[in-house]
Amino acid sequence: MTASARLLIVGPQGSGKGTQGVRVSDAFGVPVVSTGDIFRANIKGGTELGAQVSEITARGDLVPDELTSEIVRDRLSEDDAANGFILDGYPRNAVQVGHLDEFLGARGVALDAVILLDVPREESIGRLQLRAHEQGRADDTVEGIAHRLDIYEKETAPILDVYGERGIVDRIDGVGSLDEITERIFAALAARGLAVAA
């Protein structure tokens, strides 16, 4: 049986969201929906969407909310997301929270938990500089990294207050080994009755 879990993983750039998101996805049997990955795949594939977003993402600015939310709505409407999903990189500001609330509310469901990976800014910057070497992402320049972290602090961190009021935020210490962090996440989810499928 697949466990049902509607999750959001949030954290600054370099917090390990992508890696941990995949681990949670595997354990719960729900797909990862990563807006960054969707945009990058479209840029690589030379699609119309890719052309629309390539300059924006290279600058580290946010893609317009309407466009981003439409893409997420389409993805969450696919069959494999019917029982759950883990969102990575969306919502990223208050407007997108509203869009997601509307979408889920219309289906009579809601997020079960928001996993916040807590990592200090200096640690994020160090990890991203390493990733820049390894992956050569267009937005992993010194300026790009600082700009994205600024947007995170200004626009994304405040959404945690909204979800915090709903009592669904699990703050996880994001410093440690990958396995330690995964264990912390599973323990927090288990405490909410969200158990990993056997």
For the annotated catalytic residues, the residue numbers are 17, 92, 131, 137, 148
Please name the residue ranges forming H helices in the chain. Answer: 17-28, 35-44, 48-59, 65-76, 94-106, 121-135, 142-151, 159-165, 178-191
CB of 182 to ligand ADP, least distance (A): 19
Residue among 124 and 182 whose Cβ is closer to ligand ADP: 124
CB of 13 to ligand ADP, least distance (A): 4
- Which residues, including other chains, have CB under 8 Å from residue 145's CB and lie 6 or more apart? 13, 14, 60, 125, 128, 129, 132, 139
Residue 184 is assigned to a ligand binding site: no
Q: Which residue is nearest to ligand ADP (CB)?
A: 36
Q: What is the distance between the alpha carbons of residues 175 and 165, in angstroms, rounded to a whole number?
A: 25
Residue 92 is assigned to a ligand binding site: yes
Residue among 21 and 84 whose Cβ is closer to ligand ADP: 21
CB of 171 to ligand ADP, least distance (A): 18
Give 80's Cβ-side CA count (13 Å radius). 9
Residue among 137 and 171 whose Cβ is closer to ligand ADP: 137
* Residue ranges in contact with ligand ADP by CB under 6 A: 13, 35-36, 39, 56-57, 60-63, 68, 89-90, 92, 96, 139, 148
CB of 140 to ligand ADP, least distance (A): 8
Residue 127 is assigned to a ligand binding site: no
Residue 63 is assigned to a ligand binding site: yes
Give 52's Cβ-side CA count (13 Å radius). 12
Q: What are phi and psi of 91, to 5 degrees?
A: -75, 155
Residue 52 is assigned to a ligand binding site: no
Measured N-to-C along each axis, helices 48-59 and 35-44 cross at an angle, to the nearest 10 degrees, of 120
Q: Which residues are annotated as a binding site for ATP?
A: 14-19, 131, 176
Q: Which residues are annotated as a binding site for AMP?
A: 35, 40, 61-63, 89-92, 96, 137, 148
